[in-house]
Amino acid sequence: MFKYAALTCALLATSASVLAAELPAGTLVNKGNLDQVLSDTFEGKPLSQLLTDKVQWQIRNYNLGLTLAPSRPAALDPLYLEAAAANVGKVGFDRETRTVQGWEKGVPYPEIDVNDPDAGDKIVWNFIYGRPMGDSQELKNFHYILIDAKNGVERVQRYRLDRFYTRGRLNGPASLSKDFMLQNTLLFAEAPQDIKGIGTYTKRYADGFKTDDVWAYVKSVRRVRRISGNAWMDPVGGLDVLGDDVDVWDSPPNWYKSIKLIDKRWILAITDTPQTVAMGERDNAALFPLQDVSNPPYWNPSPKLGWQPREVWVLEGTPPDAHPYGKKVVYVDVQANRPLMSEIYDKSGDFWRFHHMQQQEIVGEDGYKAILPVQGQQIDFKRQHATNFVSTYVINRKGAKESDFSLGKLEAAGK
């Protein structure tokens, strides 16, 4: 009987392997063929495992389509790799405060042990501190596209988002800060005229002990005002995003109750996005050629974009009680330390939002090889609404200095 059972299992496995096909790069996956190809493989990995549950759900219910693309390692800058290698076994971790000890620059924990109870915190510190995005970023032609699932594009807003790191710098002195600050961030609207100047200026401390110093431009009084450091938990304007959601995850891990490493797996993600803004165009479909703004629900990335296999850490974050979210599941690229997408759940445990960033390798003005998101979708399934973004970047601008990323820039933006 046992021999018969073993033979039956072997025959079933053989027949399953015969039925499963290896899909070629360039295959378009959509709701019309999803069930037929789920049992197939791509680069030897089952498509049913490469597509997360929530991505499959969007293919079935929200017209998401994607093209399979061959995997390619991210081209990381030598300065980034050297700084990470120098930290192996040298950077400590304080479990009581959940903070990094003895870090100057680079990825603090290049080697993650999946059995380490602090692995979740360390992975977040890796992309907060050891970013591959350069020492300064200036987002040019940065557009927010407000989208209704039934009616399409509601409004296009042009913003400016600039960030300058004062600590953990890879080019030149590792720190320019005397007060243990990590970064200065400017976010303000440039158009249309009715929101011009609205925005925030944020100074972030490097250890996560103190909340941010934040100022906002109040258009009604044409003045800048200091606001609560807990603004990281607040919505950004009328957008489908919190301050916490900028670049998928923008908060020190010790601001969360806990962060657990729940898996290490392969998924499909968009990590080779070409230029995404066709400046000078007036039609939205032409202006944003890699956003599918012409077909319901109008918020998907273009099905022409290639999704390639990427190995990711899967983190589950539990935010503080005052936070609007109940849980946040984030997929972080293992090689590049970049958050790729997130699933957001409400206090009742119901799926609420999905954030997906499409990455691009960009060379800075100083030759640094950076990796950043150049477009993305921030979808609120409860509201049936999304805030997409698309931008171009200037990385490590020659001559960039901290005073270029100051409160005075926010004050001037509203005038």
Q: Residue 20: its pLDDT value, please?
A: 80
Report how far Cα 50 is from the mean position of its chain's Cα atoms. Answer: 18
The least confident of 66-70, 329-333, 353-357, 408-412 is 408-412
Query: What mean pLDDT comes out for the span 200-214?
Result: 89
Across 320-366, where does the E strand assignment appear? Answer: 327-333, 339-345, 351-363
The least confident of 11-20, 93-102, 301-310, 344-353 is 11-20
Strands 45-46 and 66-68: unpaired
For residues 157 and 144, is the Cβ–Cβ distance under 8 A?
yes
The least confident of 40-44, 332-336, 388-392 is 388-392
Nearest to 159 by CA among 185, 206, 191: 191
Number of neighbours of residue 361 by Cβ within 10 angstroms:
19
**Amino acid found at 141:** N
Query: Taking 50 as the threshold, does the pLDDT of residue 11 lie above it?
Result: no
Q: How far is CA 40 from CA 10, 16, 64, 72, in A?
A: 19, 10, 19, 21
Q: Residue 129: its pLDDT value, please?
A: 95
For residues 400 and 145, is the Cβ–Cβ distance under 8 A?
no
What would the two tokens of residue 332 be? 């972080």
For residues 100 and 129, is the Cβ–Cβ distance under 8 A?
yes
pTM, entire model: 0.93
Domain range annotation of the chain: 2-50, 136-272+304-413
DSSP 8-state secondary structure symbol assigned to residue 124:
H
For residues 161 and 373, is the Cβ–Cβ distance under 8 A?
no
Sequence length of the chain is 415
Query: What mean pLDDT comes out for the span 103-121?
Result: 97
Sign (positive or negative) of CA dihedral 75, 79, 83, 85: positive
Q: Residue 402: its pLDDT value, please?
A: 92
> What is d(CA 38, CA 48) in angstroms, rounded to the nearest whole number?
5
Q: Residue 387: its pLDDT value, please?
A: 97
What would the two tokens of residue 74 be? 């991210």
Average pLDDT, the chain: 92
Nearest to 20 by CA among 56, 60, 49: 49
> What is d(CA 415, CA 403) in angstroms, rounded to the nearest whole number?
19
What would the two tokens of residue 340 be? 């790729």
Strands 66-68 and 306-318: parallel
Question: Over pLDDT 90: what percentage of the chain?
Answer: 76
> What is d(CA 10, CA 109) in angstroms, rounded to the nearest whole number?
43
**Amino acid found at 182:** L
* Residue 211 buriedness (CB in 10 A; 0-12 / 13-18 / 19+): middle
Position 157 confidence tier, pLDDT thresholds 50, 70, 90: very high
**Separation of first and last alpha carbons in the chain:** 84
Nearest to 105 by CA among 94, 90, 117, 115: 90
Query: Taking 70 as the threshold, does the pLDDT of residue 333 lie above it?
Result: yes
Condensed to tens digits (0 to 9), the pLDDT of residues 309-319 reads 999 999 999 99
Query: Taking 70 as the threshold, does the pLDDT of residue 91 lie above it?
Result: yes
Query: Taking 50 as the threshold, does the pLDDT of residue 227 lie above it?
Result: yes
Beta bridge partners of 203: 184, 213
Across 111-171, where does the E strand assignment appear? Answer: 136-148, 152-165
Burial 236-261 (b: 16+ CB within 10 A, else e): bbebbbbbbbbbbbbbbbbbbeebeb
**Amino acid found at 377:** Q
Query: Taking 90 as the threshold, does the pLDDT of residue 411 lie above it?
Result: no
| 95 φ/ψ angles, rounded to the nearest 5 degrees | -70, -30
Q: Residue 201: its pLDDT value, please?
A: 92
> What is d(CA 378, CA 133) in angstroms, rounded to the nearest whole number?
21
> What is d(CA 207, CA 204) in angstroms, rounded to the nearest whole number?
9
Query: Taking 60 as the threshold, does the pLDDT of residue 271 lie above it?
Result: yes
Q: Residue 19: its pLDDT value, please?
A: 66
Condensed to tens digits (0 to 9), the pLDDT of residues 28-57 reads 999 999 999 999 999 999 999 999 999 999
Query: What mean pLDDT comes out for the span 12-27?
Result: 73
Return the percent helix, strand and coil in the chain, to nearest 5.
20, 35, 45
Q: How far is CA 270 from CA 14, 165, 214, in A?
A: 33, 26, 33
Query: What mean pLDDT comes out for the span 345-366?
Result: 96
Superfamily (CATH H level) for 136-272+304-413: Lipoprotein localisation LolA/LolB/LppX (2.50.20.10)
